[in-house]
Chain A
Amino acid sequence: MLRLPKFEIARPTSIDEVVALLSEHGDDAQIIAGGTDLVPNMKHELFTPKVVVSIADVPDIAGVRVESDGTLAIGAMTTLHDVASDERVRSIAPALGHATALISGPQLRRMGTLGGNVMLDTRCQWYNQTHFWRKSLGYCLKKDGTVCHVVQSGQKCVAAASNDSAPALMTLDATLVFHGTDGRRELPIDDLWRADGIYNKHVSGELLTEIRIPATPRGHRGAYEKLRDRDSIDFPLLGVAARVDWDDAGDRVARAEVCLVALQARPVRLKKVAELLVGKQRASAELDGAIEASAERAYKQCRPLPNIPGDHEYRHEMAPVFVRRALRACVRASENASDAAGV
């Protein structure tokens, strides 16, 4: 078996203690939640923290709550399994329910957390390898090296954001609650991401405690479609989250969103793609046409790179297919819901 590098484990019992430990140890500290990403990455010597800060004993950062204004508040330490199987998640934020149910396999979903998924490291076939492997390669820009093997002349790492929950949370306008030395702050999820595969987030050294999803309207529908080789375990080769909200009358699209992951360093929001649907009549040819047009536009707007394993041209070909499928799933869900007489 691969060995874990040596480290110390800290087990703080409050948010303040976590914050203090993180600020004391700086880059030498790393949070561990479920450990399903951190542990393999440590075995690959991608991370060699001196202090691993377990947040398992911090109270009140796990669990799902619905607040009085309808906000869905999910503790960062809530396991993916608990998120995926929660009825409130499935009705208020169906895309998140779908996405989390498709993350890796059943065992890992019972260990892995939603917070860990949001904060997941980017992935690349030249990076997620053992130390021996990377050393034989001569390393790469993201870690220990100077060149990128995906874009050889590139100055930037283009490793792929690979967290399935991210695009779903983006369609849901999620905000993230972080705690740092300056106290608590809320950040819209879109503002978390940077287009840099080395570290694709604007926040570091802070504890994510909660993921907040504002109440969704009655006509809200969401879906997540995931491309992968196997129907379990695998990271996304492409992930598409879609949102379609019907207007109050329930017959025109009031709002639509399409967000993708596993393309580049940050999950992407395809604003122009989703806009095509707005105002279209339910069950109409113009809606079908708009879905087709969105799919075509998605094809033009995304350029998968050979960063993660597999054929990137195939991933490109699948972008319109999966955008179409995700949007259709939203539209279909809507029909089912009205069939079921408003349940």
Chain B
Amino acid sequence: MVLQTALLIGLVIFSVLAILLKDLLKSAISLAAASLLLGIIFFRMNAPYAGVFEISVVAGLITVLFILTIALTGAGHDVRESKIVNWVFPLVFVAFIVIDALVMKSLLGKVPALPSGTEAGAFGDVLWKGRTLDLVGQIAIILAGVFAGLALFRKRDKHD
């Protein structure tokens, strides 16, 4: 329980750091640390597949992509940010934690606990047969992302 709480607190702290840090590189590393902790939490909660994907893809692959991009684009383009963000975000965050704590306290015990088994079935079954329509949806999201990238970073035609 103590370890679990520590992991959760660490997750929240690194997530907040990822938003607040001005240095993109540090921000990306904080995000990687947060997802590493999340992966460990998944393992401890009997969801090894989710844990493996979280650590390999989110903490590993995506962080590498972020760092590569940051390294290639170079620093020096400071974006001016509104000062309001500096105090609005912590304020909203604290309010969220308070409301969350109050709601969860009153909910605890009212939510019927589900039996917590390990992820059932072979890896292939979980990835393929256990899936629903969301599989098609996720292909569509990837398509949407690619087309959005193509559209937003396109060169305008000469006659435009």
A, B bound: no
